Amino acid sequence: MNIGQNEQEFLEQMAKQLDATIQTLKQEEIRLLDHLGEDRVRDLDQYRRSVRDPHDVSQYWQPELDTHEMRGTLDYADRKLLALWSRIERIQENRALAGRILMHRGLV
């Protein structure tokens, strides 16, 4: 169940690129977190979770605005952070997948 040298090199390079991308996005996240402030970031995180699964957060999120109203208050920086969080999650999932493939194939 061994993969070829080209596939191995591709996966290793992809993992390195994903790691670099994650690092860059995390730096941007820190900048946005500082810009938006702790209270707004908490609201955005709760909003993001409620949009994904309303049943998951209903027990602890008591927003001043419901999800629909909250959507109307989002400005550029809010939307940018929400998109950034989604992108970081997708890239981390891809990075984990590349690592699992390499480990499964006994390459790392």
**Residue 28 is assigned to a structural domain of this protein:** yes
pLDDT at 105: 75
53 within domain boundaries: no
Q: Is residue 61 part of a domain?
A: no
Confidence of residue 1 (pLDDT cuts 50, 70, 90): very low
In a domain, 40, yes or no: no
Inside any domain, residue 48: no
Contact 12, 102 (CB under 8 A): yes
Amino acid code (one letter) for 102: L
pLDDT in tens, 10-32: 989 999 999 999 999 999 999 99
For residues 49 and 57, give the distance between their C-alpha atoms in angstroms, rounded to a whole number.
7
* Total domains present in the chain: 1
Q: What mean pLDDT is reported for the chain?
A: 85
pLDDT reported for residue 8: 84
Angle at 56 between CA 86 and CA 68, to 5 degrees: 70
**pTM of the predicted protein model:** 0.79
Give the CA angle between residues 32, 65, 38 to the nearest 5°: 30
Report if residue 18 sits inside a domain.
Answer: yes
37: left (phi over 0), alpha (psi -120 to 50) or beta: left
pLDDT digits (tens, 9 = 90+) for 24-64: 999 999 999 999 999 999 999 988 988 876 665 555 555 55
Note the residue count of the chain: 108
Task: Read off the pLDDT of each residue in 65-86 and give the average, rounded to a whole number.
Answer: 89
